[in-house]
Structure 1
Amino acid sequence: MRHGVAPESPRSRHKPRPRGRHGGATRPARAVAETAGRHIGRPVARPADKIDHARLLKAQGHTLGQVAAKTGIPKISLHRHLAEAPAKARE
């Protein structure tokens, strides 16, 4: 500090960056892709048919460990997916 005045930060002299993850340039392209029916964003981690199969196995009396071994879905994820309503999981 010189004479009681804080020095100007180097970033304060630069043009401010746009807020948001993509800076706004992606929004129009994203809207076009969504209207065309293309999936936008992160891929679905677990297909609905695998979750339905896990529900069926659980309803047949299998333990979560057995269901996890047969479907390849971790037990932690099974707890979450099987707690959801079946209609919500299919969306």
Structure 2
Amino acid sequence: MHYYSKLVHSIVNNLTMKDKKASGNHLSRKGHVAVYVGKGKKRYELPVKYLSHPTIQELMVQSQHGDLEPKIEGPIVLACGTQFFDRLLLSFKEHHRS
């Protein structure tokens, strides 16, 4: 679990630095990060708090292609399809409502 914590911390720090440098319509809303999902790399704005969810962390690890360094350079691309990700987000929203 320590690996996942380092990964999430590294990602949040990296994204914070990039948001300060970014311009135009690539900025995410405050408290959100952009992630790209599926073959077509559909863009989602994910609340930062979701990065600590075990399923999201596992998708990020799978997207690292076996790289053991907890860092992401460039956009976050998750290793799953958009239908799976849509269902996952729906379950997060339903869980946070209750």
TM-score (norm 2): 0.25
More relative contact order, 1 or 2 (CA 8 Å, 6+ apart): 2
| Larger gyration radius, structure 1 or structure 2 | 1
Higher strand share: 2
TM-score, length basis structure 1: 0.26
